[in-house]
Amino acid sequence: MGVADVLYYSIHLQELRSIIHWKTWHNPVHEREPDKESVSLKVCFDFLDKTSRSFSTVIQELHPELLVPIALFYLILRGLDTIEDDMTIPIEKKDPLLRDFHKIVEKEGWSFNGNGPDERDRELLVQFHYVIEEYRKIKPVYREIINDITLKMGVGMADYCKRAADGKESVVTIGDFDDYCFFVAGLVGIGLTRLFVESGLANPALKERPQLQISMGLFLQKTNIIRDVKEDWDDKRQFWPREIWSKHVSNFEDLFKPENKEAALNCSSEMVLNSLNHADECLFYLAGLKEQSVFNFAAIPQSMAVATLALVFRNPDIFKKNVKITKGLACQTMLDSTQNLSKVCEVFRKFVQQIRKKNTPKDPNFLKISVVCGKVEQFIESIFPSQSPQAVERAAREARLSQEPDAVKAREDAKWDMSKITILSSDFGKD
């Protein structure tokens, strides 16, 4: 811990307590048994630690039935992503690798050393034969699911890389943005749901709700794209759709110029608005997870995402550097997200209220942001009613706000079909 950290946590004692609490008192629902693992599986878990600090912990606490399949699912998609991300691989070589990666994972002994020397996760592909060796051992039904998602994701990634290589703008419309996020993250939500249900650890009704599955992935991916805008731009990559940023600046690079600070903030808040539209569906999805470790695995990233949205909302620092929530806040959020749906809803409510407080009438999307925040709080209130004076006042304020002429369309876009909530909640209550 550096001097800056010491000073920070000397002021933010609650966050320091959260770090200590998580490291000292957190008891995993399930634990790995490394002594019983093969050498190749141990290598896979080492790569899991190296490639994802955030997902590694929750994956390694999963139910034994899903521990290895999901760890391998993550590593396979990370390998695919490492090829797609590497700008040093020419499109003539990259395109067939992406499109055929689902076949590659079936090839015993395959590895790849064609990544650039600075590619962060290149070593995973250099030693990918360990992943393939373990993948070939898991149940055929799990391999089928993983292979199907890898195929679809690889084709989607290849199409976007081809467009970029041809000099075409990859993400022009909001529809393009949704499509891209679907291929790199929404498909993950679908694949994980199939694994959850196939293992018997989630309610089968979730398989019939594809929009909920997709929203789980899109909420995470869109939030990361907002947070990483400066890092992506430095790497000559851009994912914010022209349909949004062109309302605020003439050229995308103008977002990073100090003289355009207010326009950049308004643009970023519209991006946050787009991501927040998935928040209530993520909470709805979590209601269908029956086993605690699976719930924790799904809930923690969603809670981290809404905390990140609160951090980046109208935050000029995202155009200067990569911003992240503090370790203390992360630990507190994880503690609150490993209990039950009610606690996760409290996490969402807290950070949505922070966004609401930072919202300003000067923002062109002020009304829409207020309405979508109200939509999330309304959903939480519908399943965990609160009669606090603050909740009553907020409800009254939202009712008044919703009558503004400019909010009519936003209200229609944000409206939740309460009859569907009743039906789905009934479905999720069945074992």
What are the tens digits of pLDDT across the range 179-220?
999 999 999 999 999 999 999 999 999 999 999 999 999 999
Of the residues 73, 74, 160, 297, only one is catalytic, namely 297
Query: Could you report the per-residue pLDDT of 345-389, keeping only the tens digit for each?
Result: 999 999 999 999 999 999 999 999 999 999 999 999 998 887 565
Tell me the average pLDDT across 118-143.
96
Total-model pTM: 0.86
- Write out the chain in H/E/C secondary structure: CCHHHHHHHHHCHHHHHHHHHHHHHCCCCCCCCHHHCCHHHHHHHHHHHHHCHHHHHHHCCCCHHHHHHHHHHHHHHHHHHHHHHCCCCCHHHHHHHHHCHHHHCCCCCCCCCCCCCCCCCHHHHHCHHHHHHHHCCCCHHHHHHHHHHHHHHHHHHHHHHHHHHCCCCCCCCHHHHHHHHHHHHHHHHHHHHHHHHHHCCECHHHHHCHHHHHHHHHHHHHHHHHHCHHHHHHCCCCCCCHHHHCCCCCCHHHHHCHHHHHHHHHHHHHHHHHHHCCHHHHHHHHCCECCHHHHHHHHHHHHHHHHHHHHHCCCHHHHCCCCCCCHHHHHHHHHHCCCCHHHHHHHHHHHHHHHHHHCCCCCCCHHHHHHHHHHHHHHHHHHCCCCCHHHHHHHHHHHHHCCCHHHHHHHHHHCCCHHHHHHHHHHHCCC
- Compute the mean pLDDT over every residue in the chain, rounded to the nearest whole number: 88
Residue with tokens 């789980």: 216
Of the residues 73, 180, 219, 351, only one is catalytic, namely 180
Reply yes or no on whether the pLDDT at 405 is more than 70.
no
- How does residue 339 score in pLDDT terms, banded at 50, 70 and 90? confident
Reply yes or no on whether the pLDDT at 282 is more than 80.
yes
Q: Please indicate whether residue 180 is annotated as part of the active site.
A: yes
Reply yes or no on whether the pLDDT at 102 is more than 70.
yes
Tell me the average pLDDT across 15-22.
66
Q: Please indicate whether residue 55 is annotated as part of the active site.
A: no
Of the residues 32, 227, 349, 394, only one is catalytic, namely 227
pLDDT at site 15: 64
CA distances 425 to 205, 283, 293, Å, are 10, 12, 21
Reply yes or no on whether the pLDDT at 278 is more than 50.
yes
Reply yes or no on whether the pLDDT at 251 is more than 70.
yes
pLDDT at site 386: 73
- How does residue 19 score in pLDDT terms, banded at 50, 70 and 90? low
Q: Please indicate whether residue 285 is annotated as part of the active site.
A: no
| Higher per-residue confidence, 385 vs 154 | 154
Q: Please indicate whether residue 237 is annotated as part of the active site.
A: yes
- How does residue 426 score in pLDDT terms, banded at 50, 70 and 90? very low
